[in-house]
Structure 1
Amino acid sequence: MAEAAERTRETLRCRPDGRGAGAACRGQEQAAQGSAAVLRALDKVNGHTMDTEVAIGASAEMFGLLVTVSDCRYPAENPTGDAFAYLSVRDPSDGAVHFQGWMVASSPALSALDHNRYDVWVMRCSSS
């Protein structure tokens, strides 16, 4: 019984060629890594926005927050498609972390920064 279950699990795993596990694997796209992320910040009090391109591994101060980009990826077959980036958002004065994790460009509320004054989200990845 255990051998049959293991064979079933092995069959369901996605292979690099995208086959296996039926529709689940077909829905997975190969991701390319960008060299930077284009981010937008909003000051909710006065309505001002700013766009900044932040290189992978670098940080930028956006209004009153320090944003670090660790990774930015996008669909390899569709560079203008849905980007997702791993961000760390901290308070520069005391280092308090307000957000750390993956943020998806098309669904920023899925994994959002929870700050009373500022909002930050991913616009796209840059590969130049």
Structure 2
Amino acid sequence: MRARAIRGALALLLAGAAPALAQEWEPKRVAELQLLDKVTARISVLRATVGEPAGFGTLTIRVAACNARPPDEVPDAVAWMEISDSRRGAGGRQVFRGWMFANAPGVSMLEHPVYDLRVLDCK
């Protein structure tokens, strides 16, 4: 429950509820994601363009927003993603929807039996 409250507060922050802080993030066009197939132990880096679906195994990843800190600040990146899995029903069932932070992957993460995903950077 605590993680859900933190995610909600961070989502409000990024959505503009606190304009002074939200201005510290710069919108970017490409999310750099690290993916792990837990069955094969294959690690891949995927560059997903904002607004365009990208695939990895049975996952379809749609990055709706990707923001990074300015170069003169502590590096961090955050991406709003919607992830669906084609194995989980016809047309794909949504398995994740929300913000993922590069420097705090445990705050909001994909919970999937086969795949692990984290944000590396926004470019």
* Common fold by TM > 0.5: yes
- Pairs within 5 Å for 1:113-124: 113-124=110-121
* Structure index of larger Rg: 1
- Pairs within 5 Å for 1:17-96: 30-78=24-72, 81-92=75-86, 94=90, 95-96=92-93
Q: Hey, which bits of structure 1, 4+ residues long, moved more than 6 A?
A: none
The percentage of aligned residue pairs carrying the same residue is 28
> Please, what is the CA RMSD of the aligned residues?
2.2
Instruction: Give the aligned length.
Output: 104
Deviation per residue, 1:54-108 (Å, 9 max, x gap): 1110111112210110000011244771100001110135320100000001111
How high is the TM-score relative to the length of structure 1? 0.72
Aligned match of 1:8: none
- Pairs within 5 Å for 1:99-118: 99-118=96-115
